[in-house]
Amino acid sequence: MTGSPRPPEFSLVDEAWIPVLDAAGQRREVSLLGLFEQADDLRMIACELPTQTFAILRLALAILHRATDGPPGEAAWQALWRARQLPLPEVTDYLAAFRDRFDLLHPRHPFYQVADLRAGKDNSFGLERLIADVPNGMPFLTTRAGRGMESISPAEAARWLVHCQAYDPSGIKTGAVGDPRVKGGRGYPIGVGSLGALGGVHLEGASLLESLLLNLVPIAPGWQRADERDLPVWEREPQTATEEPDETRGPYGLLSLYTWQSRRIRLFGDTSGITGAMISNGDKLEWQDRHLLEPMSVWGRSAPREREQKRSPIYLPRPHDHTRALWRGLQTLLPLAPPSGSEPPQRLSPMVLQWLARLTVTGVVEPDFQVRPRATSVTYGTQQAVIDEVFGDALTMNVLLLVDQSPLRTTAVDAAADAEGAVGVLRRLATNLARAAGSRDGDSGEADRAAERGYARLDRAFRDWLARLGPTSDPAAERAWWQRLVWRAVVRLGNDLVAEAGPAAWVGRLGVDRNGREVHYSSSQAEVWFRAGLAKALPMAADPVAKTQEVPA
């Protein structure tokens, strides 16, 4: 007599679902096990959105942390790094032990889901709330339409499932039966997904293997705090529709954080296609002062909370500024020197960068090693109920830039400031030309457009310049070279602005500067001020005559 047939399964351990870029530059998909087995031959995880990549990387790191038992200290980590290999037998055994918990379609405990999740009314659910690149209520603003929204493959559904737990917007959710927070069939806002508040940063090496090891900060004194209660979600009892109690929820360490269940989700479909998803509220995460647990975010002090709670410091994660390229905020990304006084620092760099800086100082990582810090964050709109923007950026740099007191680091930070100063002078030129043409206070729109052109012109140049810095570079010569490059680029843009200003600006008019002095604004005078201002902003590139020119207030 035969038993009942086994229900269809989609094992994330065995089935290909993670998009990657291999060493030859080809895109393909691999399984979780394949990700580790082929890590040395893969360049990176390469998903549709940088947020998807970041969330799946953290899932892989949670597995690697468990397979390495931490690693339990620096010596254990160094052994992995020097061998340049992952503990594949341990990873394989670990995934085999929990294989059922990685089944996307398991009848009792489907991966990252609640098997019996249901609404008070058996509503039908589509895919638009699961897939982050489909604007809510505006499907005509996406390339997905028709059949593209009716069904997706289990592989794609798995990627969006991990992404939803990490970055799902806040707002009203479907009320799940059994959740005492539900009122009138609705689950009211508890905040965005677990990673939505972070200014995420992870490190990329020359291969995925290097990237995994570089982000594998040891769970050891001085680095990661954790206790025996810190487990990934698949090692715990399956979630239910209810919120987990505070006394057992945690987070107790990075394993809890890497696999946090911000939502209760149920996918509908089978191996032939996923056709819908029910998404309800899960566990709320309070990020205050989690900087000793969470290694992959920028942190900053919160003055409002310090005043409210009458204590300091209080740290919160800081999302990246989506209006600025990463290199423009280089100083805020790099690890700080230890504070010299009693005042706690205003910001904290990601622990993964602090860890790599230590490895560089101690000589574990060679001084000619290059790394790519990659930043990821989300901007939400309208009460955090929709995703407005997804930010992703990266810089290739030498590890010496992470080391405090490194001349190379000082040169790079100063060079970024040189670019900011030069673009500021270009902004003033645009403002003065607008005044010369008849605008009373200058045209802020023209100034903004001039600045955008300036940053766009310098963006690739700075990235290329930064990537070539190394232990044999002469810091003074490199900064002088950079200032000359900025000078040439910004002067060309300034000349274009002057040429475009027109005859009214050439004739000019009288006006009053910020100090109340009467000044004649004209395109020729604005150009003189522009070159004088540029000479002060870029003294290593300016000629002696330009340095003596007066710049108006």
Residue-wise pLDDT tens digits, 183-228? 999 999 999 999 999 999 999 999 999 999 999 999 876 666 668 8
Q: What is the pLDDT of residue 134?
A: 59
Structural domains of the chain, count? 3
So what's the pLDDT on residue 137?
A: 47
| pLDDT band of 119, cuts 50, 70, 90 | very high
Q: Is the pLDDT of residue 39 over 60?
A: yes
Do 419 and 505 belong to one domain?
yes
Task: Report the pLDDT averaged over residues 40-67.
Answer: 97
Closest to 433 (Cα-Cα) out of 311, 316, 527: 527
CA-closest candidate to residue 44, choices 458, 469, 288, 392: 392
- Summarised one tens digit per residue, pLDDT across range 434-485 is 888 887 666 678 899 999 999 999 999 999 999 999 999 999 999 999 999 9
On whether residue 432 sits in a domain, the answer given is yes
pTM of the model: 0.92
Same domain, 153 and 49: yes
Residues 317 and 261 in one domain: no
Q: How far is CA 494 from the centre of its chain?
A: 34
Residues 256 and 359 occupy one common structural domain = no
Domain contains 290: no
* CB of 319 closer than 8 Å to CB of 184: no
Which tokens go with 184?
């009138």
Same domain assignment for residues 235 and 124: yes
Of 402, 420, 455, the last residue of a domain is 402
Q: Are residues 160 and 107 in the same domain?
A: yes
DSSP bridge pairs for 301: 315
Going by pLDDT thresholds of 50, 70 and 90, the confidence category of residue 98 is very high
For residues 160 and 30, state if they share a domain.
yes
**Does position 517 have pLDDT exceeding 90, yes or no?**
no
- Residue 544's pLDDT is 56
pLDDT digits (tens, 9 = 90+) for 122-165: 777 899 989 987 555 444 344 455 556 789 999 999 999 999 99
Does residue 182 share a domain with residue 270?
yes
User: Where a domain ends, among 280, 311, 345?
Assistant: 280
What is the pLDDT, as a whole number, of residue 141? 40
Angstrom distances, CA of residue 158 to CA of 104, 105, 392: 7, 10, 21
Residue 66 identity: R
pLDDT in tens, 388-435: 999 999 999 999 999 988 999 999 999 999 999 999 999 999 998 988
CB 351 within 8 A of CB 201: no
Question: What average pLDDT does the segment 72-95 reach?
Answer: 95
Confidence of residue 43 (pLDDT cuts 50, 70, 90): very high
Tell me: do 261 and 397 sit in the same domain.
no
Task: Check residue 143 and give its pLDDT.
Answer: 46
Which residue matches tokens 């954080």? 257
- 302-322 residue pLDDT tens: 999 999 999 999 999 999 999
**Dihedral Cα 192, 196, 197, 198, nearest 10 deg:** 160
Domain assignment of residue 103, yes or no? yes
Domain residues for the domain of 107 are 18-280
Task: Please check whether residues 23 and 81 belong to one and the same domain.
Answer: yes
Residue 351's pLDDT band, with cuts at 50, 70 and 90, is very high
Task: State the pLDDT at residue 176.
Answer: 95
Domain-located, residue 78: yes
Rounded Cα gap, residues 502 and 482, in angstroms: 32
Residues 158, 164: Cα–Cα separation, whole Å: 10
Q: What percent of the chain has pLDDT over 70?
A: 91
Q: Residue 1's pLDDT is what?
A: 44
pLDDT value, residue 519: 79
Together in a domain, 386 and 413:
no
Helix 407-436 vs helix 475-500: crossing angle, to nearest 10? 10
Last residue of a domain, one of 372, 402, 432: 402
Measured CA to CA, the distance from residue 204 to residue 394 in angstroms comes to 9
